[in-house]
Amino acid sequence: MPALINPSILSADFANLERDLHAISTADYAHVDVMDNHFVPNLTLGLPVFERLVQVSPVPVDGHLMIADPDRWAPAYAEAGAASVTFHAEAAQAPVRLARELRRLGARAGLALRPATPVEPFLDLLGEVDMILVMTVEPGFGGQSFIDGTLPKIRRVRRAVSEAGLDVHVQVDGGVSRETIERAAEAGANVFVAGSAVYGAESVPAEIAVLRDMASAHVH
């Protein structure tokens, strides 16, 4: 499986989002973090801005919804044209119903887990989703340091996906950089979100290429 690099525009210039989306045109997806100040203590952007980002993005949009009540709000992000819509397991009332609805609307469905949320209750439902997002920091802010304690969970998710013979992506998000991407890949991740590491780099395209090469050497 090739390593996918999804830069997070949380670390972009919010007054120049179109310009900063074009800066990542060599990436696999643009990761867009939606935060509502309820599920996480931070507020970013909502549906009207998200819709425009999908329209101007040179790469497909990977929406990460850190919001309360995704059962109610997430389908609109699929209707807006997101290639992938990820909602949090801790916030969803009916994750299978929601995942099915997202797929019906044409998006890939992702299920996100905070660092302290175990994956085991969801393992029998793997066939209902296209991606599991293992948060490698507490969601809410960019620039935090990678939590190594999440590596065993990444391993367990990858093992369960392999054993089930499914094509479910394993995404990591938070503190992903040249220092951490290899161990995340070695543990079983194949989709890598990086905000500060990409937008803080001297050359954004060069950083995307370096991260992709480093991860690809370890993705299995």
Tell me which residues are annotated as active site: 33, 173
Q: Which does 81 bind (CB under 5 to 8 A by kind): ligand DX5, Zn ion, none?
A: none
What the block records as the tokens of 10 is 């949380």
Residues 73-92 that bind ligand DX5 (CB under 6 A): none
Q: Rounded to whole angstroms, how far apart are CA atoms 140 and 186?
A: 26
* Phi, psi dihedrals of residue 152, rounded to the nearest 5°: -60, -35
Which residue's CB is nearer to Zn ion, number 173 or number 207? 173
Residues in contact with ligand DX5, shown as a per-residue x/- string from 8 to 27 under the rule CB under 6 A: x-xx----------------
Which residue's CB is nearer to ligand DX5, number 122 or number 192? 192
Q: Rounded to whole angstroms, how far apart are CA atoms 71 and 163?
A: 29
Q: Rounded to whole angstroms, how far apart are CA atoms 104 and 77?
A: 13
Q: Which residues pair with 117 in a beta bridge?
A: none
Which residue's CB is nearer to ligand DX5, number 46 or number 100? 46
Q: Which stretch binds Zn ion (CB under 5 A): 72-80, 140-148, 168-176, 178-186?
A: 168-176
- Write down the least CB distance from residue 67 to Zn ion, Å: 12
Q: Which does 7 bind (CB under 5 to 8 A by kind): Zn ion, ligand DX5, none?
A: none
User: SS3 of 184, please?
Assistant: helix
Q: Which residues of 5-43 are buried (b: 16+ CB within 10 A; e: fewer)?
A: bbbbbbbbeeeebeebbebbeebbbbbbbbbbeebbeee
Does the annotation list 195 as a binding residue? yes
62 binds Zn ion (CB under 5 A): no
Hey, what amino acid is at 183? Answer: R
Query: Quick one: DSSP state of residue 36?
Result: B
Residues annotated within the binding site for a divalent metal cation are: 31, 33, 64, 173
Residues annotated within the binding site for substrate are: 8, 64, 140-143, 173-175, 195-196
Chain positions contacting ligand DX5, by CB under 6 A: 8, 10-11, 31, 33, 64, 137, 139-144, 173-176, 193-197
